[in-house]
Structure 1
Amino acid sequence: MLQRVHELLPLKPPRSRRAVRWHVGESAVLSLFGHSCVRKICDKNGFVFETLSEPKRSIALTFEEFDLVKDGYEFDFDPLGATPGKAAAILKSDEQMIADLPDEERELVKNKLIAVKKFLLLKARGAASHYRQNLAPILLKMQDELFAPKAPPKGGQMGPPTFRLVGPKRFLEWVNAYLEMGPLGLVNQYHLCGWRDDRYSREERPILMDHVYRYLSREAPTIAFLWGEMETKFANLNRGRIEAAGLDLRDYQGIDLARVTKEFKEHMDGRGVALLTCPAIDLLRVEIRRLPPFDVIAARKGEEVAQRFFHPSKGGVQGLIRPMQRVEADDWTTHLHTLVMELLPLWDAISPELREAAPKTRCVFSAAICCTTRVIPAMTLALRTGASNTKQLLRMSVSDKTALARSIGCETPWEYRATMDTFVVDEGSALLNAETELVCTDLGIAFKSPQIDTPQQRPKIERFFQTLDIRSLLRFSGRAFSNPQVRGKYESLARACVTVEELAALIVRFVVDQYHNLPHAGLGGETPRACWLRLTKKRAPTTPPGPSRVRLAFGEPFTVTMQAEGIEIFGNWYRSQKIDELFQRSPQRDYIVKVDGEDLGAISLRVDGGWLTVCGPEIMKGVNVAIWEAALANLRRQDEDLQNLVKPVVHRAIEFAQAGDAETRKRLSILYRPKTREQLEAIRIRMNQTVRHREEVLSPPTGPIDILGGRVFVGTKAPPNGPAQLLPPPEEPMAQIEATTERVRSKVPRAVPANRQPAPEIRLRKPPREWKPKERK
């Protein structure tokens, strides 16, 4: 919401084109880029500043650069920071500014300043001096004039004065401190008060610190327990020293040998026994509080808990303005037991024992979320984790999924796709692997992996999993819950009734139609889809890769042999003009091609200059291997000879396979996976016959074929004299047209009635002679 409100703020006035040349004195102290600096050189070009901390460094800025830097939030300027008086005031007050003081201390300094100013004014008039005997009555008079108590509103006794002046000696110290150090010199040095020496000896302090460090243990001992252990330690030491001195312990019964009093310690010192005093429990608490908090939590609860607790979480990465600028992905084991089987119609009729024996599992749900718009561009569902899930997420993020959503019944388009700027995953092996990083490199995507066990660095995807669990999976029976304590005595396995295919369809329907159209708190009440549509109009996402780059990134390599007809793979021929040139230079040579199992319309051929795109049959565009294999299986059942198939028949077979694939994807939805390398190789081996496509249906000829058949001759090409006949209607069989070829040609008059057009005559043509090369002697 803040980003949307910031857009409504008025525009800032433009800066002046001419920079102001500011003065920086020699006694000034500046803060530039986090470093305290002083001016070293000032000339016509600009300033040269030197840092106060070691090692010394020089920072050169022109007047224009200094004019821009001074308006930044990291810039600070103290014109008197390097003067001796300011340095002495800081050392005395232990503060940099008057505003840093507490309210009571600041009020005290204000009253002192009023009194000192009044004295200096009287001294300037000659009514006061530094002589102490004459200063005492002046201070009494100033007390009554400046700090007299206020009269009560309705009678009664007078209240105490607001401020009481000190004696002449102390007052003159105030005056001298003010003249030397300014108002900061009037601050009381309470920070220097107190006992600074250690009250415990060199033998007592190590024992105390030993018990302090024992607090850093996975057993998590309490402070009271450690203090009891420390008392026992000191009592044993003192008892041993008394025995070593030859004294009888029975004489000291009833005396606490751990908390030794000062009088008893002095008495034992007189007898030559140096006793130790156990520190109080308050000192033990103070020393434990001084331990680094990270070390305390890491030692008592574990390093992972400490990293998660002290990780600075600021709501994710700031400054995201473009859709798909940062995409986070992760795996999550669903809190729902599902049936790994198709739900039979007789499920309600079978016994509970058979239902309980059905295989059940918890699926692994993988998803990717756009951190700018909160849309879900990709998600998969699998029975186990693996690199194929991450690869499928990357492919779905650059593809349109609307057809998949429509097949399930979604009413909202699933069109979110682009080339991501940054793809962020966790440290799991299923997401962080070499194959994923190589695919991201080929697609031009930055691949990052935050620190392990820090979900705060991926807050968007972690929160989406909670939303899915609360809003979608909560309504189904068979929930596994997050831990056994929350689950209690709920029988998750016995209540499982949702299949994996049904769960996949339910998740897609929830995300596409419900999640994308509900107000999102992270977007200020705007829906993810509305945010996507709004930002894509202002800052368009990066264009997704084309089919060739997708094929190179996600395709599988194969070795093929180039033939005169082109390249044959998966039952299709791929040919182009460059392929013919390659064949002429080096025929029957093996090449490496990359095939995209989701689109057999083209392949990529490895040549010396890189990769060459070779197109195949037009009807194979957008057809995947599964559809094509089903179409070939259907064609084999219809015709054994696959060498002369016609295009309409192939179209019908592909349409049949696409209908079956649509039903399969509707049932699998995000469970669908592209074919692996081994599966593609097995399909390639099964396709041992190649399909050739033609445009029209051919029927076997019954006689000579007239190439001019069906034309109307006019002018000099009119038919000769003879009985003219009209053209047969289109619905008459081809046999009637062929019968006209056997009639004898006769002359007919060229002038014919206007309302009657002579029928054309089909002339007989000799069949073309077979061409033979000319023999040379």
Structure 2
Amino acid sequence: MTLRPKLVLPTPQRSARPVRWAFDDAARLCLLGEQFNCIETNERGCILEYTTRTSPNGQPLTLPITWDELDALERDGAFTFERKGYSLEQSRKMLRAGARRMRDLPKKQRETIAWKRMLIERFCQLQAQGLATMSEASIRNALEIIQSTLCREAEETKAKKGAQAGSEIITLRRMPHPSTLVRWLKKMPDTSKESAMTLMDGRCNSGNFIPRFNVDETAILFRCARAFLMKEKPSIASTNTMMRIEFRKVNAERRRKHLPDLKIPSEKKLRDVIGSFTAIETAAGREGLDEAVNLFRPCSGGVQDLVRPLQRVEVDGWKIHLYMIAVAIGLWDHFPEDLRNAMKPLRMWLTAALCCTTRCYVGLWISKTVDAASTLQALRMIFTDKTALASSFGATTPWEYRGTPELMVFDTGSENYNEDVVAALTDLRIPFLFPQTSAPSARGRIERSHRTLDQKLISNLCGRAMPVQMRKQYEGEARACITVDEAVKVILRYIVDGYHNTPHAGLGGQTPRSKWLDVSLEFGVPRCPDIHELRLALGVEREARMQASGILVLGNWYRSPEQHALFQKIRNAPVRTRYDRENLGWISLQLDDVSWATVPGPAWMRGVNADTWMAARTDLQRRFKIEAQMTEPIVLDAIAAALEVDREARGRRGIIDSPLTQDMLDAVQARTLAGIAWTDDNAVPAQRPTGLFAGTIPVGTAATGAPDEQDRQRGSTPTSGGPTQPASAKPSYKPPKRAARETPPTPTKPKPVRSWTKRDTE
């Protein structure tokens, strides 16, 4: 069960009857930021009078309030009360002591006040017993009695503790002069604790406060101290040397003018001046303004009241502190030579989406550069079950965290703050937020997760990118030996199996995975958008031209009644389409300015992504260059082979930026039109009309119930996607008989032999 504050904190118990409070005349009340005096009370409540407000006619303003309302305001911290706040005696004591409370005084002063108070109490006791009077001789005798009593009590205390009597010299404060004790008695006429602060002496205000340096010396001192607040970060010793040089120059100039030399401050004085600068002023001068703002920005410990899964998802890009070797494996072998042979060490970008409630990674994308595409890919993973991806890397823990975020928070980088990301989030109806610029604390949890990944994992790998001042000792680029695929495998396995199953301090020691399971069972997870909505919001948009066979996208024909109706209106005009690279089973076709239609493709393409399909097409074009048509079994065998090849590279396809650029997809689309077409045997279900003009032009028996004359004369052969014919129908068209050829005269020169071509003659 989730530990929420309302389950942990005790519930305040209300008494059956409110308490009637009594306020003296000197009491000071503060209610909702206003000062009041209590002028009247009864069994229902009290009447308060404003001390700073009056009515327009000069009459005092009052406020009636019941005891229940006063108790409620006190529980909320909106009511404060100071007893004897306006009494003249108490104000004099506070003014004389320089503090409002006893605990505000230094410990040494409190000990001194306690010593004085103890002497006054002991003397008052002797005076009450008749053993002392206010004469000087009697006071001196009483102080000797008090001193001997204190020594005996100290010896007894040591004996009770098991120490040997007389083993240590008992040190007591020196007894005051009788006149001093009389002065203390006048300050504290009674032994009440309220007047104890009047016994504080004025030693804290003693000393010579006259400035030791004149105006010219102070100006040079502060000007040199300001040099300490520079980005070069000079030391105090070097600043002191610079100050002494400056004073020597000024004194040399003053000697020429017959003026006395200026006193040179000591290094201790310089340290005192530097120490008087505020912390934010020092940080701004030595670290920079941006760093100072980040260090001293108010922080409330993160966003509070997060209890539901995906209630707040933070997205951020991080350049991984590790040099990797980009090598080609698996599906990369199907692409250009320069891409396969890229071996230069590089640093990849990690775009992560973190659920702030559970601290679980719900999206992860690694790419060579960070841009809008990487953000959209990380966003796409939030709606996907990533367990198969994690299993391909050998992870044993499921990575099933998915759903629709209630709020997404980004930084203002160009990869996030652009029209593509904003449009996708708007279409998915996901609220989003861009906090203040250069404010990492506004996204503290995702920022801290990058640091955790760097400390717990990246710092242990060879080839780590070091700060500038450490690069000479450790050259990360020269020591790079881990490939991109190996690094991604390590990172993913650590996140899924390690980080998600490690107790998290921000969750009270609970693991992120356990937290997800708890809150998802308690509150439920917001449902993901369907595949068609995801395709419209996050799909790749391309311009295509319709044909009688449908729309050709990545080598597959997509057709539907809506598509064909639009084809009859605009024919070969360009149309807008969108396809999901993670699922090529359907595409979306724009019918008008606001409407989109879902156009299905071959059944075997459902669930197949673009990378796997391109690998299968490349293999098919290599194996079947002569055949004009491919049937479903051949295509399925090719896809199965591509999936087998893709098994080792599935992680790269699922989490690393794909090498398939849009230009490559366009090139494949262009090559698709040459030489190979696909026979879609199952494109149209049996229960739906299969006529090419079904729904628009009556065909066969659909119009009259019997074949008409034109059908009998024209005749047709059933083909996939063409008009249907009854099984007994025979074509009425007969080719005409060939006319007899006339024998041409024998030419004088023999003509070259040419191949005979079959053709019809009139």
Q: TM-score range by the shorter chain?
A: 0.5 to 0.7
Cα deviations by residue, 1:236-268 (Å, 9 ceiling, x for unpaired): 6556556545xxxxxxxxxxxxxxxxxxxxxxx
Post-superposition offset of 1:287 = 1.7
Q: How does 1:625-636 map to 2 (within 5 A)?
A: 625-628=610-613
1:767 aligns with 2:728: yes
Describe the shift of the 1:18–1:599 C-alpha distance in structure 2 as closer, same or farther (beyond 3 A).
farther
Letter in 2 for 1:335: L
Report the counterpart of residue 694 of structure 1 in structure 2.
682
> Structure 1 stretch 284-293 or stretch 654-663: which is displaced more?
654-663
- SS, match of residue 331 in structure 1: strand
Residue 337 (structure 1) aligns with? 324
After TM superposition, the structure 1 stretch with the greater mean CA deviation from structure 2, 580-589 or 382-391, is 580-589
User: Which among 79, 98, 103 is matched to residue 102 of structure 2?
Assistant: 98
TM-score, normalised with respect to structure 1:
0.67
1:149 touches 1:161 (CA, 8 Å); kept in 2? no
Gaps of at least 5 residues in structure 2 are: 54-60, 156-164, 332-340, 687-725, 733-762
Residues 297-308 of structure 1: pairs in structure 2 closer than 5 A: 297-307=283-293
Partner of 2:520: 536
Structure 1 residues 455-494: Cα deviation after superposition (integer angstroms, max 9, x where no partner): 7953555455554675477356xx2442476566767666
- Opposite residue 474 of structure 1, the aligned amino acid is N
Q: How do 1:660-739 and structure 2 match up within 5 A?
A: 662=647, 664-666=649-651, 668-673=653-658, 692-694=680-682
Letter in 2 for 1:185: T
Q: Verify: 1:447 aligned to 2:433, yes or no.
A: yes
| Matched ranges for 1:367-766 at <5 A | 367-426=352-411, 428-443=413-428, 444-449=430-435, 452=438, 454=440, 458=444, 461-464=447-450, 467=453, 470-471=456-457, 474=460, 479-483=463-467, 496-520=480-504, 523=507, 526-558=510-542, 571-575=556-560, 592-604=576-588, 610-612=594-596, 614=598, 616-617=600-601, 619=603, 620-628=605-613, 637=624, 655=640, 658-659=643-644, 662=647, 664-666=649-651, 668-673=653-658, 692-694=680-682
TM-score when normalising by structure 2: 0.68
In angstroms, what is the RMSD of aligned CA positions?
5.4
Kindly indicate whether residue 151 of structure 2 is the aligned counterpart of residue 150 of structure 1: yes
Quote the Cα distance in structure 2 between the aligned partners of 1:338 and 1:696: 48
Q: What do residues 213-257 of structure 1 show as CA deviations (whole Å, max 9, x unaligned)?
A: 233234444444544554555566556556545xxxxxxxxxxxx
| Paired residues of 1:29 and 1:77 also in contact (CA < 8 A) | yes
Q: Spell out, residue by residue over 1:518-562, the C-alpha distance to the aligned partner (whole angstroms, 9 max, x if none).
A: 455655654433333233323434333332432232123445678
Q: Which moves more between the two structures, 139-148 or 39-48?
A: 39-48
282, 286, 307: which is aligned to 1:296? 282
Give the conservation status (yes or no) of the 8 Å contact 2:324–2:484. no
Q: Give the letter for the 1:89 counterpart.
A: K
User: Percent identity between the aligned chains?
Assistant: 28
> Could you say if the C-alpha distance between residues 424 and 285 of structure 1 is closer, same or farther in structure 2, counting changes exceeding 3 Å?
same
Q: What does residue range 224-373 of structure 1 map to in structure 2 within 5 Å?
A: 224-231=237-244, 234=247, 244=257, 276-307=262-293, 309-310=295-296, 317=303, 319-324=305-310, 325-342=312-329, 358-373=343-358
Contact 1:330–1:426, Cα closer than 8 Å, also in 2: no
Measured after TM superposition, the shift of residue 400 of structure 1 is: 0.9
Q: 1:209 to 1:80 in 2, by over 3 A?
A: same
Question: How far apart, CA to CA, are the structure 1 residues paired with 2:490 and 2:171?
Answer: 77
Which stretch shifts more, 465-474 or 203-212? Answer: 465-474
Q: How many angstroms does 1:104 deviate by? A: 3.3
Contact 1:551 1:594 in 2 (8 A): yes
Corresponding position of 2:93? 89
Moved more, 146-155 or 401-410: 146-155
* Count of residue pairs brought into register by the alignment: 654
Tell me which of 80, 85, 93 is aligned to 2:84.
80
In structure 2, relative to structure 1, the CA distance for the partners of 1:178 and 1:38 (3 Å cut) is farther
Residue 442 of structure 1: how far off its partner (Å)? 3.9
**Equivalent residue for 2:707?**
none
Q: Which residue is equivalent to 1:201? A: 214
Structure-2 change in CA distance of 1:585 and 1:48 (3 Å): farther
Question: For residues 162 and 306 of structure 1, do their structure 2 counterparts lie closer, same or farther at Cα, with a shift above 3 Å needed?
Answer: same
Farther-moved stretch of structure 1 (607-616 vs 173-182): 173-182
- Separation in 2, partners of 1:62, 1:649: 87
Q: Would the aligned equivalents of 2:37 and 2:49 in 1 still touch at CA under 8 Å?
A: yes
Deviation of 1:615 (Å): 5.1
Aligned residue for 1:216, secondary structure, equals coil
Matches within 5 A, 1:41-56: none
- C-alpha separation between the residues in 1 aligned to 2:328 and 2:678? 37
The one of 194, 198, 208 aligned to 1:185: 198
Amino acid at match of 2:496: V
What's the CA shift for 1:95?
A: 1.6
Q: Distance in 1 between matches of 2:22 and 2:357?
A: 44
Displacement, 1:73?
Answer: 6.2
Tell me which of 210, 227, 233 is aligned to 1:214: 227
Unaligned runs of at least 5 residues, structure 1: 246-272, 345-355, 699-764, 772-777
Per the alignment, in what secondary structure is the counterpart of residue 376 of structure 1? strand
Whole-Å Cα distance in 2 between the matches of residues 675 and 475 of structure 1?
Answer: 29
Preserved contact between residue 552 and residue 604 of structure 1 (Cα < 8 Å): yes
Say whether the 8 Å CA contact 2:29–2:79 is kept in structure 1.
Answer: yes
Give, in angstroms, the shift of residue 26 of structure 1: 7.0
More moved, 618-627 vs 204-213:
618-627
